Amino acid sequence: MNLIDYLRSNAIQCAPEEADADVIFFGVRKGPEATADALKAAMAAHKGEFCDVNPLDGQEHSYIELGGWVGDQGAALSLIGLGAALGAWKLLTPKTMLGDLCPPDMVQQMAGMGMVSMLAA
């Protein structure tokens, strides 16, 4: 199964309060068949749409960068959220890094500027 099909089948978009991972713009719930190993295998087989990225290289990758790799920023957010929900990497957002110190309008502004990322260990 290719990466986009895997995300469509296993990364369920929902309200943030119902989510396993909150990627600010929406929540992501992991599907019942989702596994970290299967997600990583789909990622390894994926060829970049507009750029080459290795999301598992231990560097931080934003949804904007990953959007170029998967071909869609929404799919990139689903990828980040699903992997975080499966424990495959760390989710970095204004909420996860600043908590309640960051007001909601600032959270949205920062996220819109690309500050929703993943960091694989």
Task: Say if residues 110 and 53 touch (Cβ distance below 8 Å).
Answer: no
DSSP letters, the chain, are --HHHHHHHHEEEE-GGG-SEE-SSSEEEE-TT--HHHHHHHHHH---SSS---TTSSSEEEHHHHHHHHT-HHHHHHHHHHHHHTTSSEEE-HHHHHGGGS-HHHHHHHHHTT--EEE--
Q: What is the pLDDT of residues 5-40, one digit of tens each?
A: 999 999 999 999 999 999 999 999 999 999 999 999
Taking alpha carbons only, the member of 61, 63, 57, 59 closest to residue 11 is 63
The whole-model pTM stands at: 0.95
Residue 121 binned pLDDT confidence (cut-offs 50, 70, 90):
confident
Domain that holds residue 65: 3-119
| Count of domains observed in the chain | 1
Q: What is the pLDDT of residue 94?
A: 95
The answer to whether 48 touches 68, Cβ cutoff 8 Å, is yes
pLDDT in tens, 38-96: 999 999 999 999 999 999 999 999 999 999 999 999 999 999 999 999 999 999 999 99
Least Cα distance to 36 among 68, 69, 70, 11 occurs for 11
CA dist 91 and 68 (Å) reads: 19
Residue 1 predicted with pLDDT over 90: no
